[in-house]
Amino acid sequence: MDDPSARYTALARHEERLRHEERRRRETRAAAIRRAAAEACRPAAVRRPRPTDALVPPRPRSGEPPYVPGPRALSLDDFAESAMAVVRPVPGEEVDLDLRLGPPPPSKPWPPPRHPRPRHPRR
């Protein structure tokens, strides 16, 4: 590799390969962004279910509060029954799992949505 022209040619080939890889990476990323944007614009009934859909709560409508209550948790009675079903008592020993404390307290109604304060125009 003592020939300067061969060294120059190898360097030019290497730079061309780097430019090609960078361009391919940019085009692949742009295509993925376009696909994701097109998929997000489709209605939910038509859209393919994504693995993260189960983790994301539904978006509230404009008049609703920004938090969406999740599914009701197990009541203590249900928990005690399921715990009793799981525990295998040792013969001759008494198992005390009386977790029944009565019905859960009634939940409070959601407060009305607050409107954001008007923003001051920037000077």
**Sign for the pseudo-dihedral over CA of 33, 35, 41, 47:** negative
Confidence of residue 16 (pLDDT cuts 50, 70, 90): very high
Percentage above 90 pLDDT, the chain: 15
Q: Which two tokens stand for residue 7?
A: 């060294």
Cα 6 from chain centroid (whole Å): 53
Q: Which two tokens stand for residue 104?
A: 């859960």
Give the residue extent of every domain in the chain.
1-50
Which pLDDT belongs to residue 119?
72
Q: What is the pLDDT of residues 94-123, one digit of tens each?
A: 665 555 556 666 778 777 777 777 777 766
Contacts of 103 by beta carbon, 8 Å cutoff, 6+ apart: 75, 77
Half-sphere exposure of 78 (CA within 13 A, CB side): 6
CB distance 107 to 99 below 8 Å = no
Q: What is the pTM of this model?
A: 0.33
